[in-house]
Amino acid sequence: MEVHMGGHQLWCYLMDERSCPPTLRLSTLPAYAPDAIDAVKKPLLEAFEAEMVMYIQVIWLHEEACAKAILLASMEVDISLSLRGLSMSHLMWAHLHRDYEIHNEALNLGVVEEAQSLRQHEYTVEEFHRQLFAVWHCLDNIGGVLCRRHLQML
């Protein structure tokens, strides 16, 4: 998911690293006469700021909607139903992460024991490295199907 969302430059929405901007600092001022009085400048500046804030918020809302659409399209319907009521993509991602992250101490212990029991014996250096790499990979991804597949290949 991180690669897919990152490819769309939307991962920051799932990680809640890009909030909807409430205000915007002016970078380019609207044009007015150098000798214009404050009564003339103020409405121009306020209108410019309001337009820029609206533009930035529209972009944010569009990207947030894209992040939610990709996230929801990437899962089974029954899982997506559990996200009803969550309006922001980062809230959805946090819910999924909390509910579906596997914490399995028994599997962790099994992988650690597997790593400790590895010996090169009659294996070539390449074969032994492949086995060791698979165990290291399992320790990095503990609890996933990927780990069980790597251990079965040993």
Q: What is the pLDDT of residues 61-86, one digit of tens each?
A: 888 899 999 999 988 888 888 888 88
Confidence of residue 147 (pLDDT cuts 50, 70, 90): very low
d(CA 140, CA 7): 23
d(CA 140, CA 16): 24
Q: What is the pLDDT of residues 80-135, one digit of tens each?
A: 888 888 888 999 999 888 877 656 666 667 777 777 777 778 888 888 888 878 77
If you average pLDDT over every residue of the chain, what do you get?
76
Q: Are 29 and 46 in contact (CB under 8 A)?
A: no
Q: Which two tokens stand for residue 99?
A: 């509910």
Q: Higher pLDDT residue, 51 or 68?
A: 68
- In terms of pTM, does the model score above 0.85? no
Residue with tokens 């946090």: 94
Q: Higher pLDDT residue, 80 or 55?
A: 80
User: CB neighbours (10 Å) of residue 71?
Assistant: 22
